[in-house]
Chains A and B, each alone.
Chain A
Amino acid sequence: MKIARKLPNRPDAPEPLHTRAVHDLRFIRETMEAAAPITAVPGLGLVAMGLIALAAAALAQIQPTAERWLAIWFAAAMLAVGVFGVTLWFKARTSGVSLWQGSLRRFVLSLFTPMGAGALLTTAMLLARNIQPVPGMWLLLYGTGVVTGGAYSAIRIVPIMGICFLCLGSLALFSPTEWGNAMLALGFGGFHVLFGLVIARRYGG
Chain B
Amino acid sequence: MAYREPAPERHAPIPEPPESLDRLIHARVRLGVVSALAVSDSLSFNDLKSLLKTTDGNLSVHARKLEEGGYIECRKSFEGRVPHTIYVLTEAGRNALERYLDHMEALIHSVRDH
Instruction: Spell out A's residues near B (CB within 8 Å).
Output: 1-2, 4-7, 16-18, 21-22, 24-25, 27-28, 31-32, 34-36, 39-40, 95-97, 153-156, 202-205
Contacts of A5 in B (CB 8 A): 3
Kindly state the separation between the CA atoms of A2 and B100 in the bound complex, as whole angstroms.
48
Between B14, B32, B47, the greatest number of chain A beta carbons within 10 A of the residue's beta carbon is seen for: B47
**Provided the pairs A2-B2, A25-B104 are in contact, do residues A34 and B111 lie with their beta carbons within 8 angstroms?**
no
Closest 4 CB pairs of A and B: A204-B41, A35-B36, A21-B104, A39-B40
Instruction: Judge whether B3 and A27 touch: CB under 8 Å.
Output: no
23 A–B contacts, CB within 8 A, in A order: A1-B1, A6-B3, A18-B14, A18-B108, A18-B111, A21-B104, A24-B31, A25-B104, A27-B35, A28-B31, A28-B35, A31-B32, A31-B35, A34-B36, A34-B51, A35-B39, A35-B40, A39-B40, A154-B47, A203-B40, A203-B43, A204-B41, A204-B42
Contacts of A16 in B (CB 8 A): 9, 11
Q: Is the interface of B mostly helix, strand, loop or mixed?
A: helix
Contacts of A32 in B (CB 8 A): 35-36, 38-39
Instruction: Spell out B's residues near A (CB within 8 Å).
Output: 1-3, 9, 11, 14, 18, 28, 31-32, 35-44, 47, 50-53, 86, 97, 100-101, 103-105, 107-108, 110-111
Shortest Cβ gap from B52 to chain A (Å): 7
Contacts of A34 in B (CB 8 A): 36, 51
Instruction: Judge whether A28 and B101 touch: CB under 8 Å.
Output: yes
**Provided the pairs A17-B14, A156-B50 are in contact, do residues A97 and B39 lie with their beta carbons within 8 angstroms?**
yes
Contacts of A27 in B (CB 8 A): 28, 31-32, 35
